[in-house]
Amino acid sequence: MSFQNPVFIPGPTNMPEAIRQACYMPTIDHRSPTFGKILHPCLDGIRQVLKSADAKIFIFPSTGTGGWETALSNTLSKGDKVLAARNGMFSHRWIDMCQRHGLDVQIVETPWGEGIPTGRYAEILKADTNHDIKAVLATHNETATGVKSDIAAVRKALDAAGHPAMLYVDGVSSIASMDFRFDEWGVDIAITGSQKGFMLPAGLAIIGFSSKAIAATAHSDLPTTFFDIGDMQKGYDANAFPYTPPVGLMNGLKLSLDMLLDEGLETVFARHHRIAEGVRAAVSAWGLKLCAASPDLYSDTVSAICTPEGFNATDIVTLAAEKYDVAFGVGLGDVAGKVFRIGHLGSLTDVMMLSGLATAEMCMVDLGLDVKLGSGVAAAQDYYRNNPAVAQ
């Protein structure tokens, strides 16, 4: 695959050259004060991205999956009950992890393409008068279906029921690209990774803990070693890690945070929304539909596009890679072969996006779909020309 073409997968995302160079740095003594000058700006910058005044930030050499495990293993005990909706591949995988850790998961089965059923959450939480549920899991942006859920509404359901359960949010494909409000939404643990909105390679799990979540670690009986936040905090206090840190990735993260904050978070979010709206205009012009069931659920970081009944959507992804050296995302799980995914997050512009839309069109026409060459590109061009990005 050509290294000159941008990727249009929902992560890992395109990496600015300056960030790549920041990761490619000489070896330093990671126990020297020099590392502290990388570490602490990263912790402070992530806190700003999460929109939190005092969340405790932890960075582990891992991925978002390791972030999930950090959240569970540090705060819960075997047999604890958690509430989760299964509405896509990544919520499914988090549920699977909970079960492997011996947790009792109350699963709300939800059609793929729908968001978290907050009304059902409210009913379950209100009925749980013994407060057996210790944590509520919420996938903010379901990467497999291009569905954004309302985290504020989940918090409202908890508060309306007077329920003390903690709120854990998977923000892997939303944080640093879409608005995320840790304090305002009453999030107890937020989880993300380096390879999406932060424009880095995979390799860092990034987690924010509330004071309530920190307090819960005193009562957890699940084993932790590599992902122990107590050990990690002791390391931070000494400008270090409890083991060898991924210094190059963290130096890249420091620059990424500078770039995001210099652009302005609201401007970053507006840019993602604008690019996504162009993609949605193209999908409509093609006569196709998104997997997301309604506009209020549309993700600003990934669009899962449904293809006609009987057509294998994976063929579009395969042809794009083989003929045009361009990467799109395949459908996963229940929507495998039914959708292809266009990622529109991270280091991306409308001009770059137009090249991806043009490639998707060529593939669909090559494969015999009833799509007019140029129709989606023209629709996106019209949107971009007439809708400059404006921070809300």
CATH of the domain at 332: 3.90.1150.10
Q: Which residues contact 281 (CB under 8 A, 6 or more apart)?
A: 376, 379, 380, 382, 383
* pLDDT for 361: 98
Question: What pLDDT score does 199 carry?
Answer: 98
What total of structural domains would you count in the chain? 2
User: Is the domain of 72 the same as that of 189?
Assistant: yes
Domain final position from 262, 278, 296: 262
Could you tell me if 241 and 364 lie in one domain? no
Residues 26 and 124 in one domain: yes
Q: Are residues 298 and 248 in the same domain?
A: no
In angstroms, the CA 241 to CA 45 distance is 18
Looking at the structure, do residues 269 and 253 belong to the same domain, yes or no?
Answer: no
Query: Quick check: 223 and 77 in contact, CB under 8 A?
Result: no
Count of beta carbons in the 10 Å neighbourhood of residue 45: 21
Same domain assignment for residues 272 and 254: no
Cα–Cα distance, 378 to 356 (Å, whole number): 13
Structural domain harbouring 247: 17-262
For 4, the token pair is 């000159």
pLDDT tens over the chain, length 392 residues: 678 899 999 999 999 999 999 999 999 989 889 999 999 999 999 999 999 999 999 999 999 999 999 999 999 999 999 999 999 999 999 999 999 999 999 999 999 999 999 999 999 999 999 999 999 999 999 999 999 999 999 999 999 999 999 999 999 999 999 999 999 999 999 999 999 999 999 999 999 999 999 999 999 999 999 999 999 999 999 999 999 999 999 999 999 999 999 999 999 999 999 999 999 999 999 999 999 999 999 999 999 999 999 999 999 999 999 999 999 999 999 999 999 999 999 999 999 999 999 999 999 999 999 999 999 999 999 999 999 876 55
| 343 occurs within a structural domain | yes
35-to-21, 27, 229, 234, 238 alpha-carbon distances in Å: 17, 11, 19, 15, 10
Point out which residues pair with 272 in neighbouring strands: none
- Count Cα neighbours of 344 within 13 Å in the Cβ-side half-sphere: 31
Structure tokens given for 320: 């794009």
Residues 23, 168, single domain; the answer is yes
**294 with 315, same domain?**
yes
> CB under 8 Å to 274, separation ≥6 — which residues?
350, 383, 384, 387, 388, 389
Same domain? 157 vs 83: yes
At 213 the pLDDT is 98
392 belongs to a structural domain: no
Residues 313 and 192 in one domain: no
DSSP string, 159-196: HHTT---EEEEE-TTTBTTB---TTTTT-SEEEEETTS
165-174 in b/e burial notation, b at 16+ Cβ within 10 A? bbbbbbbbbb
Helices (H), 28-186: 33-49, 64-75, 89-100, 118-127, 151-160
Residue where a domain stops, chosen among 223, 241, 262: 262
Q: Tell me the angle at which helices 64-75 and 229-237 cross, rounded to the nearest 10 degrees.
A: 100
Does residue 127 lie within any of the structural domains? yes
Question: So what's the pLDDT on residue 3?
Answer: 82
Distance in angstroms (rounded) separating the CA atoms of residues 58 and 290:
35
Whether the ω angle into residue 164 lies within 30 degrees of 0, i.e. cis, is no
pLDDT at 1: 63
Do the domain assignments include residue 269?
yes
Query: What pLDDT does residue 355 have?
Result: 98
Same domain flag for 207 and 254: yes
Looking at residue 215, which CATH number applies to its domain?
3.40.640.10
Q: How far apart are the first and last CA of the chain?
A: 38
Helix (H) / strand (E) element for 60: namely strand 56-62
Nearest to 346 by CA among 247, 249, 263: 263
The last residue of a domain, from among 232, 262, 292: 262
Q: What is the pLDDT of residue 14?
A: 96
Considering the domain architecture, whether residues 219 and 323 belong to the same structural domain is answered as no
For residue 8, being part of any structural domain is answered with no
The two tokens of residue 134 are 């210790």
